[in-house]
Amino acid sequence: MEQSEAVALFYLSHLQNIKEEKSHLSADCPFCKQKGREYAGRLVVYLNKEGFFYGYFRCLNRCVAGGFPLWFARLTGISPVEVPGYDPDRDYFQRQIEYPVNNINNEIQLYQDRLSEEMRARFQQAGIDRSVLTELKIGYNGRYLVYPYVQEDGNCYAARCLFPERQEDSFWHGDEHFFADQYHIFNVEDIQRCENGALFVCQGEENLLTLKQLGFPGVAVPDCHSLEALDADRLAFVHTVFIVMEKSAEAEAAARLFAAGIGYKARLLRWPAALARNYNLWQLACDQGKGFKAAVLSMMQASSAFSPFASPRREYNHFLAQLALESGPAYGALRTGFPKFDQALDGIHGITVIGGAPKSGKSCFAIQIATEMARRKVPVLYYDFENGRQKIYQRTLSRLSRLSTRDIKDGVATGAAGPHFERACQDLQQLLVSFRVVNDRKLNAEIMRRHIDFIRHETRSEYTVVVIDSLHKLPFKDFSEQRTGIDAWLRQLEAIRDELQVSFLILSELSRGSGDGYTDRPHMGVFKGSGDIEYSADNALVLSPDWDPLDSAPDQQRQNKLWLVASREHSPGLVGSYGLDYPYWGFTELDEPGAV
């Protein structure tokens, strides 16, 4: 037997004087006389198979709070074994709370008695009648409306008092222990009543009253920030949770975060974009009048099960947008300026790691690539833990001006630098708009993200290049944990690459090979201190000196070979040879037969 048929038979077997309709049935309420009512009202059970509230019952006299079959069984004393959907092995969420002996139930009753006709008329503007106010025990202290936060044991220990026309004017009354966020669930008892069913979670007590007037079950939190304190485990046995907050960016963010915690069972009700900020259910009820129910039902039907994934259509459109970006000039501008390098790797994309022996020219090579990109208006962040900002600028100026750093200093000292030097200074000043050097020894991934956001905003660029000199000098909490620290950094860099469209050029040290030197043929195993480089790097290269460090040959004759040792998309092999452009702190790409 289907679950829906079993639920219908359950009610049919325990109710009297039944009248069946297409989408619901009605019967004499078995609870009215228990509650001292002279005449039994009609109890309605919703049996629309297409609806979310199938099996929900409520008395039209509101003699008891409505709920689903298990709640009906508890009220009537029926064994839960007879209830469709009952699971004897279910592990219920239990909060270890010792409720105090004293409560404020009597005070709440006094406040209810003081609810004036003026306040009742105010609620009537949103269509809320006396029966709803009585059911939720709404009161008035002569100045503030009193909303009792009844706990799971059925007693009230604290209430929230709100000034009717100024909702931000509020305070808590009662036992201070229950002022804590974990107790801020208005009408919390509806959670248990809606086991195996559906309920609303909304923002603000008044908004919940409008839903209760329509006959829906639900709970409310005082504000959107209170959702953080609502433990998702408390809703573990509710099948569908409709979340409706006020219209604001903060409320929507809180709703999405909460929905992510409870998963697919969450359904977010969204407001039309044209509505004013902080628009809510109370205002909708006032504006729509008798059309309020139809408006809520329309929002429910338009809602969809919360998914951590983008819709297929949105995913496809995102793919096309990314494809268009990668075909555009901004993506094509991510090139090094070295033709063989760019031919072999199609520029700097993803995570590119260049390893090299100490003093092999890694930093000089990276500075040249970074500054040439910046000259083409590509935003570059250069995280330097090796040379210092002053040396980077001096060496860049030397390369641009074709003057040695000694000649530059002498020219500045004597005032005879010349017009060529002045033009190079102007070039340096212009490229610094897109080139930012960071020496922060307290750097972390979150700070790096803020740097990226800033330079992207300043340059209005879709892409950013981040250079790290070097991987092994990145800040770690404990130097003894360098290996794990490097791997952790690589995980963060992968996330930044994917989320923010960032390309990384990372310099790495090499491990000593045979003979305690660095002359072994380049391969993935030569990178120092991290086995994760081979998994994280989209491209791994080794800049290998093609000269003897003990040879007295002139600096200008020194050459390095650049090897691509591993790549996700390109074939490994020799990329090219690079001659030191001495004394101008740069490299020149040389003709090299056999390069990839």
Rounded Cα gap, residues 596 and 587, in angstroms: 19
| pLDDT number for residue 28 | 94
Total count of residues recorded for the chain: 596
Number of Cβ within a 10 Å radius of residue 84: 18
pLDDT at 427: 95
Distance CA 241, CA 233 (A): 13
CA distance 463 to 322: 11
Query: Exposed/middle/buried for 553, CB within 10 Å: 0-12, 13-18, 19+?
Result: exposed
Domains and CATH numbers, the chain: 3-82 (no CATH), 105-302 (3.40.1360.10), 329-590 (3.40.50.300)
Structure tokens at 40: 């039994």
The one-character DSSP state at 137 is: T
| Six token digits for residue 116 | 């004036």
Q: In this structure, which amino acid lies at residue 262? A: I
The amino acid that residue 594 corresponds to is G
Q: Are 11 and 82 in contact (CB under 8 A)?
A: no
Burial class (CB in 10 A: 0-12, 13-18, 19+), 74: middle
- The alpha carbon dihedral of 396, 399, 404, 408 has a sign of negative
Q: Which amino acid, residue 393? A: Y
- Please report the pLDDT score of residue 330 as a whole number: 85
533, with CB counted inside 10 A (0-12, 13-18, 19+), is: buried
Nearest to 44 by CA among 36, 52, 34, 61: 61
* CA torsion through residues 323, 325, 328, 330, sign: negative
pTM for the model stands at 0.62
Q: What is the pLDDT of residue 511?
A: 80
The pLDDT of residue 591 is: 80
* pLDDT for 111: 97
- Give a three-class secondary structure readout of 245-307: CCCCHHHHHHHHHHHHHHHHHEEECCCCCCCCCCCCHHHHHHHHHHHHHHHHHHHHHHCCECC
pLDDT of residue 594: 47
Quick one: 6 exposed, middle or buried, by C-beta within 10 A (0-12, 13-18, 19+)?
middle
Write down the pLDDT at residue 513. Answer: 65
The predicted structure's pLDDT at residue 4: 84
Please enumerate in sequence order all residues whose Cβ is within 8 A of that of 15, keeping only pairs 6 or more positions apart, or say none: 25, 27, 28, 30, 43, 45
Block residue for tokens 């001006």: 401
Residue by residue, pLDDT tens for the chain (596 residues) are 688 899 999 999 999 999 998 899 999 999 998 887 878 889 999 999 889 999 999 999 999 999 999 999 999 999 999 999 898 887 765 567 889 999 999 999 999 999 999 999 999 999 999 999 999 999 999 999 999 999 999 999 999 999 998 888 999 999 999 999 889 999 999 999 999 999 999 999 999 999 999 999 999 999 988 888 888 889 999 999 999 999 999 999 999 999 999 988 999 999 998 999 999 999 999 999 999 999 999 999 999 888 777 778 888 888 888 888 888 888 888 999 999 999 999 999 999 999 988 888 999 999 999 999 999 999 999 999 989 999 999 999 999 999 999 999 888 878 777 788 999 999 999 999 999 999 998 899 999 999 999 999 999 998 999 999 989 899 876 655 667 888 889 999 999 999 998 999 999 988 876 665 565 667 777 787 656 787 889 999 999 888 765 565 566 678 899 999 999 999 999 999 999 999 999 999 998 654 54
